[in-house]
């Protein structure tokens, strides 16, 4: 099972649980996983709620996604798509972290606020959106995307594994798509040595 498929499984399980509650109205995957990036760094979900009465239960369901992958975010919206914060990862909220002193964080419990974060609607809706479940006749997220005039979503390039030759031992090694993405993100050049030779160099 590839990483994208793993994260989709986590998202689907979450959606199946929350749609049995009374307050959730729509849940969607947003960003790289929705865009079928085979090597996503995280899982972003967007959830519309009519109110926050069941937020403790929803937070429990969100934390259960950690059995699949720890880097997840659940963004919360009301019925008119105004941002309400995001789900706190902590089992006890508010906690003792310095992040818990951010104004408004944990009020109500399990709704996290991030210092300095400014919601940019067009940035969110320029991302690919994959609606997992909705109680509306038409998805609110997709409708809003159309209202904003966003026809084409942001693309995520597919990076395929490539075989390279080690400059030290001359043996071939695979530079995976996931590694390529990480190297690009860090601004590193492609490796010239195989993992074994790199490890030997580090030991010296």
Q: What is the pTM of this model?
A: 0.81
**Residue-range domain boundaries for the chain:** 3-147, 162-203
Per-residue model confidence (pLDDT) at position 159: 76
If you average pLDDT over every residue of the chain, what do you get?
Answer: 91
Per-residue model confidence (pLDDT) at position 160: 80
Task: Please give the backbone phi and psi of residue 84, each rounded to the nearest 5 degrees, phi first.
Answer: -115, 0
Higher per-residue pLDDT: 106 or 120: 120
At residue 83, does pLDDT exceed 80?
yes
Per-residue model confidence (pLDDT) at position 142: 97
Task: Output the CA angle 71-159-176, nearest 5 degrees.
Answer: 75
Three-class HEC string of the chain: CCHHHHHHHHHHHHHHHHCCCCCEEEEEEECCCCCCCCCCCCEEEEEEECCCCCHHHHHHHHHHHHHCCCCEEEEEECCCCCEEEEECCCCCCCCCCHHHHCCCCCCCCCEECCCCCCCCHHHHHCCCEEEEEECCCCCHHHHHHHHCCCCCCCCCCCCCCEEEECCCCCCEEEECHHHHHHHHHHCCCCCCCCHHHHHHHHHC
At residue 135, does pLDDT exceed 80?
yes
Share of the chain above pLDDT 70, in %: 99
Q: In the chain, what is the greatest distance between 2 CA atoms, to the nearest angstrom? A: 64
Interval 144-151 mean pLDDT = 95
Q: What is the distance between the alpha carbons of residues 48 and 108, in angstroms, rounded to a whole number?
A: 16
Q: Tens of pLDDT along 3-62?
A: 889 999 999 999 999 999 999 999 999 999 999 888 888 899 999 999 999 999 999 999
Per-residue model confidence (pLDDT) at position 51: 96
At residue 70, does pLDDT exceed 70?
yes
Q: Tens of pLDDT along 178-195?
A: 788 878 777 888 899 998
At residue 99, does pLDDT exceed 80?
no
Per-residue model confidence (pLDDT) at position 204: 62
Per-residue model confidence (pLDDT) at position 41: 81
Share of the chain above pLDDT 90, in %: 62
Per-residue model confidence (pLDDT) at position 115: 84
Interval 59-83 mean pLDDT = 96
At residue 158, does pLDDT exceed 80?
no
């Amino acid at each position: 099972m590839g990483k994208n498929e793993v994260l989709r499984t986590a998202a689907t399980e979450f959606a199946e649980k929350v749609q049995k509650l009374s307050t959730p109205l729509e849940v969607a995957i947003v960003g790289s996983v929705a865009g079928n990036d085979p090597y996503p760094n995280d899982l972003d979900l967007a959830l519309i709620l009519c109110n926050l009465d069941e937020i403790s239960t929803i937070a429990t369901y969100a934390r259960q996604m950690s059995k699949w992958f720890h880097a997840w975010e659940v963004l919360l919206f009301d019925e008119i798509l105004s941002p309400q914060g995001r789900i706190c990862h902590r089992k006890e909220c508010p906690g003792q972290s310095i992040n818990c002193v951010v104004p408004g964080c944990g009020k109500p419990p399990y709704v996290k606020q991030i210092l300095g974060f400014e919601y940019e609607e067009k940035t969110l809706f320029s991302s690919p959106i994959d609606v997992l479940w909705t109680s509306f006749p038409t998805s609110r997220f997709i409708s809003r995307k159309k209202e904003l005039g966003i026809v084409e979503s942001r693309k995520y390039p597919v990076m395929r594994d490539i075989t390279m030759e080690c400059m030290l031992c001359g043996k071939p090694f695979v530079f995976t798509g996931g590694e390529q993405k990480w190297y690009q993100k860090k601004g590193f050049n492609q490796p010239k040595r195989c993992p074994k030779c790199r490890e030997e160099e580090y030991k010296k």
